[in-house]
């Protein structure tokens, strides 16, 4: 089974997270997700995420710490998923026709996400907002 390396941006503003919805005709269509995508061969995780955010949302991203790495086996592929904290300059706007919304922390668990996102959703939904971006991740 092939392993696909994917990076996703955890972008938080005013206690809300930026999410996009997977479009019809793609794997896991209709699920909400943190924006990002597949890494190209030789591409760094931050470099991939900056490219994906520019392509998907039309803004520049500053990539921060990795919050979580997880793997998930689907029927046809294995995904190695890296969630990184990011900030964006300007106002993100969907560039590919996808739905986008800012979702409050307490609303995350009410949306349909891909199974690979479950651990992150649980972590974010149970977390209290932090004002310091330099708080160490106890899982690392």
Domain ranges for the chain, please list them.
3-126
Quick one: which of 3, 17, 1, 26 has its CA closest to 82? 3
pLDDT confidence of residue 88: 95
Encode pLDDT of 11-63 as tens digits.
999 989 999 999 888 878 899 999 999 999 999 999 999 999 999 999 999 99
Q: Which two tokens stand for residue 33?
A: 């997700």
Beta strands in the chain, from DSSP E residues, in sequence order: 3-13, 16-21, 32-33, 36-38, 61-73, 78-88, 100-104
pLDDT confidence of residue 74: 86
pLDDT confidence of residue 128: 54
User: What is the CATH T-level fold of the domain 3-126, as seen in this structure?
Assistant: Nucleoside Triphosphate Pyrophosphohydrolase (3.90.79)
DSSP 8-state assignment for residue 121: H
Encode pLDDT of 79-134 as tens digits.
999 999 999 999 999 998 899 999 999 999 999 999 999 999 999 988 654 443 33
């Amino acid at each position: 089974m092939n392993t696909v390396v994917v990076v996703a941006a955890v972008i938080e503003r005013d206690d809300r997270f930026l999410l996009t919805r997977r479009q019809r005709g793609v794997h896991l269509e209709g699920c909400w997700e943190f924006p990002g995508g597949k890494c190209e061969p030789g591409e760094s995780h931050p470099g991939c995420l900056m490219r994906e955010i520019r392509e998907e949302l039309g803004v520049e991203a500053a990539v921060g710490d990795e919050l979580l790495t997880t793997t998930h086996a689907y029927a046809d592929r294995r995904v190695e998923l890296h969630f990184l904290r990011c900030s964006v300059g300007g106002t993100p706007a969907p560039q590919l026709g996808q739905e986008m919304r800012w979702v409050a922390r307490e609303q995350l668990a009410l949306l349909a996400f891909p199974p690979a996102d479950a651990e992150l959703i649980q972590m974010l939904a149970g977390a209290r907002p932090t004002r310091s971006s330099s708080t160490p991740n106890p899982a690392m």
